[in-house]
A and B are shown apart, each in its own frame.
Chain A
């Protein structure tokens, strides 16, 4: 394969990882910083014990995903965790867009929270495809080493 194409693929993969790391670190830490508000929003939908568990578990998983993806040796588990999280969030946003929830919190963080729910769904689906693509390339061993 031509070097130019290889370089382009390498850069796209690098960019993909960077976007995921940015996403998870941003949303995870934002939930931790305003943990009380996040939990209050969850309690509007889930029973209190579940809301507490989710309010603690989700940001931890998001940070774990971000940290895993930042280091090449741990990228595979990071990608699987990203896939799980993104699938859950995408299903949740779909449920909201479809109107099945009368009350829907969205402690999304920053720019993302300014989106409409439909735009949020589109963004989530795009990230889902990104994760699947990165998993595919990693499994196929086509990922080009990123200079440490």
Chain B
């Protein structure tokens, strides 16, 4: 009976079925307007250093690999440059590295 199944058709149905039944999107921010800033630093003390964040470059280690460092933070959509990120850190967290570290949406292992 298995030989009579069109493997291609089965894969098509499976692909569509998986898409429909699972959450099909990446770790999208809860709020669609949020911007994800990936942390590239090597210590929690750098959490308030806007130059250690990137919207495009991935974090050095996988999110969820450990809880040593922040993996990424989420900011409002209007925060899309590093200068604005610095202002955001100051206005929201008082530029406190521990506070920003604690607010990270996900964490990762150190390199």
Give the residue of A29, A70, A104 whose beta carbon is less than 8 angstroms from that of B11.
Answer: A70
A40 on the B face (CB < 8 A): yes
- Pair count A-B, CB < 8 A: 105
Q: Which size class do A's interface residues fall under?
A: 35 or more
Residue B23 CB within 8 A of the other chain: yes
Interface residues of A in 11-54 (CB under 8 A from B): 14, 17-19, 21-26, 29-30, 33-34, 37, 40
Q: Is the CB of A34 within 8 A of B24?
A: yes
Bound-state CA distance A29–B12 (Å) is 11
Complex interface: stretch among A83-91, A111-119, A125-133 = A111-119
Query: Interface extent on B, as a size class?
Result: 20 to 34
Answer whether A70 and B9 are a contact pair too, CB < 8 Å, given A104-B56, A107-B25, A110-B23: yes
- List 27 A–B pairs whose Cβ atoms lie within 8 Å, in order of A's numbering: A14-B7, A21-B15, A22-B11, A22-B14, A25-B19, A26-B16, A26-B19, A29-B19, A30-B24, A33-B19, A33-B20, A37-B32, A69-B8, A70-B6, A71-B9, A102-B55, A102-B56, A103-B56, A110-B24, A110-B25, A112-B26, A114-B27, A116-B58, A118-B58, A146-B6, A147-B4, A148-B6
Binding site for B on A (CB under 8 A): 14, 17-19, 21-26, 29-30, 33-34, 37, 40, 66-67, 69-72, 96, 99, 101-104, 106-110, 112-114, 116-118, 146-148
